[in-house]
Structure 1
Amino acid sequence: MPHYVTDLDAAVDWLLTRTQGPLRIAAPLALGKPHRLLNTLYSRLEVDASRPLQLYTALSLNPPQAKGDGLEARFLRPFVERHFGIDFPRLAYADAIARDALPAHVQVEEFYMQSGALLGSAQAQRNYTSLNYTHAADAVAQRAPHAIVQKVAFREGSTRLSLSCNNDITQDTLDAIHARGLPRPLLIAEVDPQLPWLDGSATVEPDFFDLVVVPPGPYPHLFGLPRQPVSDADYAIGFHASALVRDGGTLQIGIGTLADALSHALVLRHTDNARYRRILRALDPQLADHPMVQEAGGLGPFEIGLYGCSEMLNEGFRVLVQTGVIRRKVLEDLAVMQRLANGSAYGSDHATLAAEGQYLHGAFYLGSPEFYDWLRHLPEDESRAIGMRRISEINQLYGGNESLERLQRRDARFFNSCMIATTLGAAASDALEDGRVVSGVGGQYNFVAMAHALPDARSILMFRALRDDAGKAQSNVRWSYGHTTIPRHLRDIFINEYGVADLRHRTDEECVVAMTGIADAAFQHALLEQAKASRKLDLSFTAPEAWQRNRPDVLRAALAPFRSDGSLPDYPLGSDFTPLEQDLLRALTWLKANTRTYRDKLRAAASAIRQPAGENDAMYLQRMGLESPKHLSEWLEAKLLRLALARTAHN
């Protein structure tokens, strides 16, 4: 049986007395990281250069920190205190990395970062390890960690512990360590009563761990990802993508507003199909006849339902399960799955599928407080239908059960996001041209490669056609880009707000035409000229007139009626912001977009001074602490806020 302690310092003492010299620690990504235990260890060793520390992990999440006293900080501070709790244990080493302030004897290696958060950190950039998610376990094993530390869930009445949110790589790492002939590391669990319990393959016997830490309460909130508003471009991408999903198929989605938009579109397709089709027609009257929709997707409700198989379970999967979109069950029995596939199943096979089958598999989960609450209160039969698996079982076909997984993952659609797409089909998703890492490769390459390995699967990379660069619009469709995450020989389907480009098995010329056809109209000519100069496009080619509709104003007009009638809400999966905060966030977003340059600032200030007070301004000013401005800068901030509220009141 493991050793149990309630004191975090005692747990660190236990670890340090059982190891000598430099200490190598591994910890899961995201929610499964034991914040309090790691903070106690770091506080002990950051001042003790005689015990160098190396930490191998990924996605070290901390709540955002407000800087200064501007409008953004005034909005953020009260929200962060409410949403994360005033006692949330910030990861001390992560704060140090952000400031480039880790002591010289401490090193943190991560293979995935909080998106965009560490572009300015030399320590983070130098110690980033570029890995596919499925390679992370062996990479950690190669470092020969002394200990693996992990947060776990405990349930009254059960002797087992649940790996809950992170079944991803702990067991794969142990197998990789054993395969290398290295000693088994110490395994330390920190019990968190806030963590939802998931049974089945997510559970282990207590003696799986050498030490179990049960810290006393009160227990801080779990890290909840604040749900963000979905833009017109996001919605257009999500609805285009939803038409490529085949009933009875398999679904993998990433995280963020593009995934939220896709999930909302799939829900509408199933629960309000007439409205769903009206939105699609507004986006593209010809979409129903698109070859990709005819060959690979569909527009009807889900009569069979989908099977979800995704490295990360998130908010989208919650609503897809709740609305019955995800309900196609699979079994871990090859013989039964073969009989079900070829039509020779017995009546008992169908009974077994109904009773024991699962419709959702993932390797880790991360979401909002509402998502965690949903997991906590799932009825027993629904909880049994969700299985947490190793990353080697989710992200690839070659973990030992390939025949079974091929049967389970029929008509798979793997949806992921990228930042930049080239006209020849390469994608940049994790880093910038200069090599700085924005996030990480994660599982994206795994799913792209799997889409080519499964005969009826498709990989779909979603991206926004435009990005803002210091107030100037730039195209995310490029002729070329100085960094590649997905090479062009693995090109498949790209989707942005202007449409669908099917590049699989196409010639370079066909790819150029397809990708330029979904680029923003302002950038199409330059792309075509570069293609012609590079001998990739016939010199006589001219852009079809229909391409000129690829403009934000056209898109905005097409979706405006559905924005107004509530079909496309700002927060389709629910919001962590109060209604008043949603109004403020909309106003602040407008203000940021309209004060990017010095001239814009002067224009906005002049308008703000003339802006009359709105009927409800007082409650917004009070929330922002500006009801009684104390000096000129606060007076101007209050005026600018009034202006932004007025400009966004009916949008």
Structure 2
Amino acid sequence: MPTHRTTKPLILDNVEQCVDQILERLGNHIKVGLPLGLGKPPELINALYLRAKADSSIHLTILTALSLERPVASSEIEAAFLKPFVERVWGDCPDLLYAVDATQGKLPVNVKLHEFFFKPGSRMDNANAQQNYVSTNYTTAARDIYEQGCNLAMQAVCKPDDGEALEYSLSCNPDTSLELVRLLREGERPHLLVGLVNQNLPYMAHSAVVPSEEFDLVVDHPRYTTTLFSTPKLPVDIADYALGFYASALIKDGGTLQVGIGALGDAVVHALGLRHTDNANYCRVLGAMNWPEESGALVERIGGKQPFKTGLYGATEMFVDGFLHLMQKGVLKRKVYEHWALQRLINLGKCNPDQLSASILDDLFELGVREITPRDFEVLKRHGLLVERVLLDGIHLVLPNGQRVLANLADKATRTALASSGLGASLVNGTVLHAGFFLGPSAMYNTLKNMPLAERNSIHMLGVEHVNQLDLNRPLYSAQREHARFVNTGIMATLSGAVVSDGLADGRVISGVGGQYNFVSMAHKLPTGRSVLMIRAVRENEQNGEASSNIVFSYGHCTIPRHLRDIVVTEYGIADLRAKSDSEVAKALINIADSRFQGDLLKQAKAAKKIEENYQIPEDFLGNTPENLARRLGALVKENVLPPFPLGCDFTEQEWVLAQALKGVKAQAATTSKWKLLLKTCLADPSPESALPYLERMKLTHPQKLQDKVVRMLLVEQLKRLKVLG
């Protein structure tokens, strides 16, 4: 982040002092921009929020997204399970008090909260949140926060471990902060930039590093180095795995990957890792799935099933822990470089990064590189194309032997001289992952902090204005994002090819568009890019177990319009929708719908004249049921080829057993009449001795309330079903 400021920040050791300074310098009308997710400084925003809560003359507006909260129990039984887990995983990580009050509907009238992305499903019935939601693409979020009048930017930062803090790292969240700061500095609005140091954050280099002068205030005291908010892993089930493996076969060796958080993202990552390290089992999984001729041809054309020779490069808004797993597995290893022509030569096979030859200078000239500008010089030298002792002096290059030549590759004498004494042996400082922000389990943060410096520096955190679009440098980004596969998740797909990912037909927001639209649009702009949207074919009502189709004829809201339709994947197969007619699109989506709903979908499509009357669903797709999927993949689950937590687990073994059992308890309680539950409780046999550790963990060894006795009976029943009791 370039700066023209020379004033050092005021260093404070207490957040209350910082709030005093903020109010003294900005007055009582504060509009604070906070990073999404992990980058929020919890102690600092809490102090400011509590000050406003106690003083109604302070008008506080919070502009942010993804305000993370610890899970809260909805019953005594849930509390017994959650309390030890929450204490172990989140430790002394402070709650975001404004978020807690927002969830409970207790925000004071002088505090407004505007978010552009919610934790999925967390604000569905919250009127205040729904009314104050701001719909924006991730790439325009900084602009919109600025337009809303932001006059204070706060962020959690970290500093180098040794020496004076001349620089700070924005670590997990340079995503929108870099652009927001630029807008504030270029404008005339009085404003403050404030950092709070948390040394548990990994120190990320490159664009994430800013001079200390960029801050007006910095709060720095060891008491604020608290536990980072983490997102525990979710289990991956059979349907998730089917989706993930279908998607993994669409990813081309030597290509580019974007993938998100959650069970579906973990399934894709596990599949890619298995493809590379255990290809036999990878092919066993694929072989157990449904592969009609068209899908097989698509994989051959744009993807692959073999291990990775060149490997993948990551270009993603969200850096999830899956990318670290892919680095460790040897999948994420394709390095890219910050010069468009150099990158194009690598793509064309004319430049071997590990062994440079003199011909690269002629090839750069042929591609159109002429004058070596100061920017070109800096990039080419940083990447080792030019040796360290080559200097730029005006319009000349000064070579290590003292020879002066024109800084222009159009001059053959320059190319000859550079080849003789100025050309490096190999390229260095390549990047395997560009990302806007990171969020994940605590193991991810520890891995980043302990990673060898060179390896960590191959990860480049930067603004989403770079990662989520091509506009800022189309030649470079297009060259880097070769064979891009942007893999995202949706909730529903309509038979027109539109996808619903962030809201309901009545206008309620589930989460937010985030960067999904950006990546889908970018896939259409890149010559070899594809968008892959993963959608569960069905969803089940937790209360009554009834299933509904996520492939629907039409819907009253969409995130991705039908004219951007590309590839949709369900657990039953792949639908390639690009450049297809409406009839072909509708047929392809019905083919990968759950068979319980295919008939109604086909009937609706025919009634709307979108499919001809005599069309019938191909035999290959008439067995799309959960039972058939379990039959196909069940053995691989038992063999642990498809484990429940492929990327690690925050639960203890006992907690994972209890989590599965409690899910069954909840389902049984919701679908069984009360008198039957009471009768079963009265007639139940004494609990076996082997159940005691589980009952102790749930505080059910000596239940007094009738409700607890019913839960105890159901829990023992579920533990027996899971076959964990001796």
TM-score by length of 1: 0.96
Q: How far 1:510 moved relative to its partner?
A: 0.3
Segment drifting more, 298-307 vs 461-470: 461-470
Q: How far 1:435 moved relative to its partner?
A: 1.0
SS state at 1:616 partner = helix
> Equivalent of 1:541, from 615, 627, 631?
615
Q: Distance in 2 between matches of 1:619 and 1:391?
A: 48
Residues 2 and 493 of structure 1, relative CA distance in 2, 3 Å threshold? same
**2:172 and 2:437 in contact (8 A); partners too:** yes
SS state at 1:596 partner = helix
Q: Distance in 2 between matches of 1:198 and 1:46?
A: 35
Say whether residues 1:257 and 2:329 are aligned partners.
Answer: no
> Equivalent of 2:536, from 450, 464, 479?
464
Say whether residues 1:366 and 2:439 are aligned partners.
Answer: yes
Partner of 2:209: 203
Q: How far 1:430 moved relative to its partner?
A: 0.6
Q: Distance in 2 between matches of 1:214 and 1:57?
A: 23
Aligned residues: 647
SS state at 1:24 partner = strand
Q: How far 1:486 moved relative to its partner?
A: 0.5
Segment drifting more, 481-490 vs 545-554: 545-554
Residues 587 and 294 of structure 1, relative CA distance in 2, 3 Å threshold? same
Q: Which residues of 2 match residues 387-406 of structure 1 at below 5 A? A: 387-399=460-472, 401-406=473-478
Q: Distance in 2 between matches of 1:601 and 1:225?
A: 39
Segment drifting more, 247-256 vs 622-631: 622-631
Partner of 1:156: 161
Residues 8 and 628 of structure 1, relative CA distance in 2, 3 Å threshold? same
1:309-362 CA-partner distances (Å, limit 9, x unpaired): 110111211110111100000011223223323444343649687521010110
Partner of 1:450: 522
Alignment RMSD (CA, Å): 2.0
Residues 604 and 426 of structure 1, relative CA distance in 2, 3 Å threshold? farther
Residues 353 and 245 of structure 1, relative CA distance in 2, 3 Å threshold? farther
**2:40 and 2:155 in contact (8 A); partners too:** yes
Say whether residues 1:311 and 2:317 are aligned partners.
Answer: yes
Say whether residues 1:592 and 2:678 are aligned partners.
Answer: no
SS state at 1:549 partner = coil
Say whether residues 1:431 and 2:438 are aligned partners.
Answer: no
SS state at 1:149 partner = strand
Residues 375 and 534 of structure 1, relative CA distance in 2, 3 Å threshold? same
Say whether residues 1:382 and 2:388 are aligned partners.
Answer: no
SS state at 1:290 partner = helix
Q: How far 1:178 moved relative to its partner?
A: 5.3
Larger radius of gyration: 2
**1:251 and 1:412 in contact (8 A); partners too:** yes
> Equivalent of 1:272, from 274, 278, 295?
278
Q: How far 1:442 moved relative to its partner?
A: 0.3
The one-letter amino acid of 2:50's match is S
Q: Distance in 1 between matches of 2:295 and 2:205?
A: 44
Residues 611 and 276 of structure 1, relative CA distance in 2, 3 Å threshold? farther
Residues 352 and 173 of structure 1, relative CA distance in 2, 3 Å threshold? farther
Q: Distance in 1 between matches of 2:675 and 2:225?
A: 45
1:91-137 CA-partner distances (Å, limit 9, x unpaired): 11111111221111110100001111111211111100001000101
Partner of 2:227: 221
Q: Distance in 1 between matches of 2:328 and 2:128?
A: 43
Partner of 1:30: 37
Say whether residues 1:133 and 2:138 are aligned partners.
Answer: yes
Q: How far 1:73 moved relative to its partner?
A: 2.6
SS state at 2:31 partner = strand
Q: Distance in 2 between matches of 1:206 and 1:603?
A: 64
**Which consecutive unaligned segments of at least 5 residues does structure 1 have?**
none
Say whether residues 1:570 and 2:644 are aligned partners.
Answer: yes
Partner of 1:60: 67
Partner of 1:489: 563
Say whether residues 1:340 and 2:346 are aligned partners.
Answer: yes
Residues 15 and 177 of structure 1, relative CA distance in 2, 3 Å threshold? closer
SS state at 1:18 partner = helix
Q: How far 1:635 moved relative to its partner?
A: 1.8
Q: Distance in 2 between matches of 1:111 and 1:601?
A: 46
Segment drifting more, 155-164 vs 425-434: 155-164
Q: How far 1:21 moved relative to its partner?
A: 3.6
Residues 168 and 604 of structure 1, relative CA distance in 2, 3 Å threshold? farther
> Equivalent of 1:88, from 75, 89, 93?
93
Q: How far 1:609 moved relative to its partner?
A: 4.6
Q: Distance in 2 between matches of 1:603 and 1:458?
A: 52
Identical columns (%): 42
Segment drifting more, 368-377 vs 628-637: 628-637
Partner of 1:554: 628
Partner of 1:501: 575
**1:273 and 1:300 in contact (8 A); partners too:** yes
Q: How far 1:67 moved relative to its partner?
A: 2.4
The one-letter amino acid of 1:58's match is A
Residues 344 and 21 of structure 1, relative CA distance in 2, 3 Å threshold? same
The one-letter amino acid of 2:465's match is S
Say whether residues 1:112 and 2:117 are aligned partners.
Answer: yes
Partner of 2:333: 327
The one-letter amino acid of 1:440's match is G
1:601-621 CA-partner distances (Å, limit 9, x unpaired): 936973895466345211111
Partner of 1:624: 698
TM-score by length of 2: 0.86
Q: Distance in 2 between matches of 1:558 and 1:650?
A: 25
The one-letter amino acid of 2:297's match is P
1:359-416 CA-partner distances (Å, limit 9, x unpaired): 01101000001011100101111011000011100000002x1100000000000000
SS state at 2:157 partner = strand
Q: Distance in 2 between matches of 1:611 and 1:493?
A: 53
Q: Distance in 1 between matches of 2:559 and 2:425?
A: 42
1:273-296 CA-partner distances (Å, limit 9, x unpaired): 000000111112557961220111
**1:594 and 1:604 in contact (8 A); partners too:** no
Q: Distance in 2 between matches of 1:214 and 1:635?
A: 51
The one-letter amino acid of 2:105's match is D
The one-letter amino acid of 1:142's match is E
SS state at 1:356 partner = coil
**1:237 and 1:258 in contact (8 A); partners too:** yes
SS state at 2:223 partner = coil
1:446-467 CA-partner distances (Å, limit 9, x unpaired): 0000000001100011011111
Q: Distance in 1 between matches of 2:517 and 2:662?
A: 36
Q: Distance in 1 between matches of 2:97 and 2:27?
A: 23
Q: How far 1:529 moved relative to its partner?
A: 0.4
Partner of 1:516: 590
Q: How far 1:60 moved relative to its partner?
A: 0.5
Q: Distance in 2 between matches of 1:605 and 1:258?
A: 40
Residues 108 and 508 of structure 1, relative CA distance in 2, 3 Å threshold? same
Q: How far 1:202 moved relative to its partner?
A: 1.1
Partner of 1:298: 304
**Which consecutive unaligned segments of at least 5 residues does structure 2 have?**
1-7, 358-383, 386-422
Residues 588 and 211 of structure 1, relative CA distance in 2, 3 Å threshold? same
Say whether residues 1:174 and 2:181 are aligned partners.
Answer: yes
The one-letter amino acid of 1:533's match is A
Partner of 1:17: 24
SS state at 1:56 partner = strand
